[in-house]
Amino acid sequence: MLPFRAKALLLLQIGLGRMAAFILAPCYFAVIRLMGYRIRNLRAIRQACRREFQRHEGPWLICANHLTVADSLILSYAMLSLPAHLRLYRWIPWNLPERNNFQNPFLVLLCYLSKCIPVQRGGPREETKRTLDKCTYLLSRRQRLLIFPEGGRSRTGRVDREQFSYGVGRFLADGGGDLQVMCLYLRGDKQSSYSLLPGFGERFMVLMDVFKPEKSALTGLRAQRDYAGQIIQRLAEMEEKYYDIYRQRHCGSDRSRQYRKEQGQPVSAAGLHQR
Amino acid sequence: MDEQKIFEAMITILKPYTKDAALLERATKDTHILNDLKVNSARLVDVIIKCEDVFNITVDDDEADTIRTIGNAVELIQAKLA
C-alpha cells in the first residue's frame, strides 16, 4: 500500500509533467526527426494503438524488447502522435529507467517530467518494493506502464528466453482482471545487437500485439515467473515474425527466391538478418 | 533441520546462480547474495523458488523481499520448518 505522501508526490509529478509536455514533447519529436529516425507504417501503428487504448481505457502493461536506451522514446513516438502527446497525456506510458543512467541533474529533471520512475536494478529490495508499489498505484489509476521484461538491454541482440526478469509477472499476478498487456517489438534495420543509441537515420519496424496471458494455475513467485515467461515467449514469437517480414522484404519470399533461382536470376546473399 | 544443514543446502542451491564458485567457498551467514556472490537480482527469485522445492515450504513476496544474506534465508527457512 502506497503512503499518502508518495501518492501526492506522484500526482504532483503528473501535474508538472502534463504542463512540461507542451515544451518537452515537441522537443523530443524534433530530436527524433533530427536523428533521421523513421518508422515503417507509422500511421497504421498509431491507429492500432489508438483503437486499443479507446477500447480499453486502462490499466495497460506495455511490454517491449530492449536494445537501446532510446527505445522508450521511440516507442512512445510510435504509439502516439504529437497532438496525442499533448491532448491525451494520460496515454503516455510511465517508464522505469535505471537510476544509474540519470546522474546529471538536468537528466534527473527531464526524467521526472517525462513520466519516469527511476529504479535501481539489483538494488535494495525495499527500494524495489517502493517502486513496485508506485507502479501498482499507477495501474490502479488506469495508467499505462512501459516495461522491458528482459530487465535490461538484450546482450545477445535477441529476446532472451532464459535470463529474463520476473518483475513484470508480479503486476499480472497481483493485478486484477482489468490489466491488459500490449507487446511491442521494436528493431532498427541496422540493429544487429544492443547499443547505446540507434544509428543515425535508422529505419525501424514496430510490431504490436495485444495479449492476454493464460491464467496461471500457480501461486506466489511461481505465478510471477509463469506470467513473465508467457510475455517473453510472446515477444520471442514477435521477433520471429519480424525476421520473417525482414527476410521477405530483403531477400524475397521463399517462393520468389526459388523462382529467381529457376530463372537464373541473382538471389540475395545471406544477410545480417538471415538465419 | 539444524542451521548448519540448511546453510549447506543453501550453498548447494546458490551454486548454479553464482558467477564465481570460489566466492561460495568463503561464504558465511553474512554473505550478501547479490553484492558478494554477484547473483543476478532476477535470479534471486529462482533461488527462492528452489528453496521452496528443496525444503517444501512457501515463501510469499514480502518474505522474499527480506532475504539479502544467506543468513536471512537460513533464518527464514528455519522459522518455516519449525
What is the residue-level pLDDT of chain A in tens, covering all 275 positions? Answer: 789 999 999 999 999 999 999 999 999 999 999 999 999 999 999 999 999 999 999 899 999 999 999 999 999 999 999 999 999 999 999 999 988 877 889 999 999 999 999 988 767 767 888 888 899 999 999 999 999 999 889 888 999 888 888 888 989 888 767 899 999 999 999 998 899 999 999 999 999 999 888 888 888 889 999 999 999 999 999 999 999 998 887 776 555 556 656 665 555 544 444 44
Q: Which of A217, A235, A180, A203 is nearest to A61 (CA)?
A: A180
Supply the pLDDT for residue A253: 55
> SS3 for B1?
coil
Instruction: State the smallest CA–CA distance between residue A181 and chain B in angstroms.
Output: 21
**Domain ranges for chain A:** 4-151+165-262
B65 to A121: CB separation less than 8 angstroms, yes or no: no
Q: Which of A158, A206, A214, A203 is nearest to A184 (CA)?
A: A206
Angle between helices A105-113 and A4-34 (to 10 degrees): 100
A166 to B48: CB separation less than 8 angstroms, yes or no: no
Supply the pLDDT for residue A271: 46
- Residue that the C-alpha cell 514469437 belongs to: A237
A221 to B52: CB separation less than 8 angstroms, yes or no: yes
Q: What percent of chain B has pLDDT over 70?
A: 100
Supply the pLDDT for residue A274: 45
Listed in sequence order, the residues at least 6 apart from A50 whose beta carbon sits closer than 8 Å to its beta carbon are A80, A84
A170 to B61: CB separation less than 8 angstroms, yes or no: yes
Supply the pLDDT for residue A130: 86
Q: Distance between CA atoms of A254 and B1, rounded to whole angstroms?
A: 62
In a mutational test of the A interface, the residue from B41, B50, B53 whose CB has the highest number of chain A CBs within 10 Å is: B41
DSSP string covering A204-239, please? EEEEEEEE-PPPPS--HHHHHHHHHHHHHHHHHHHH
pLDDT digits (tens, 9 = 90+) for B37-72: 989 878 888 999 999 999 999 998 888 888 889 999
Q: Which of A56, A126, A64, A124 is nearest to A96 (CA)?
A: A64
A221 to B66: CB separation less than 8 angstroms, yes or no: no
Position B2 pLDDT exceeds 70: yes
Supply the pLDDT for residue A259: 60
Look up residue A47 and give its three cell numbers. 491507429
- Residue B1's pLDDT band, with cuts at 50, 70 and 90, is confident
Annotation: CATH topology of A4-151+165-262: Glycerol-3-phosphate (1)-acyltransferase (3.40.1130)
Supply the pLDDT for residue A247: 85
Overall CATH class of domain B3-81: mainly alpha
Q: Distance between CA atoms of A265 and B7, rounded to whole angstroms?
A: 68
Alpha-carbon distances of B22 from A154, B27, B28, B38, rounded to whole Å: 28, 9, 13, 12
B-proximal residues of A, 223-252, CB under 8 Å: 224-225
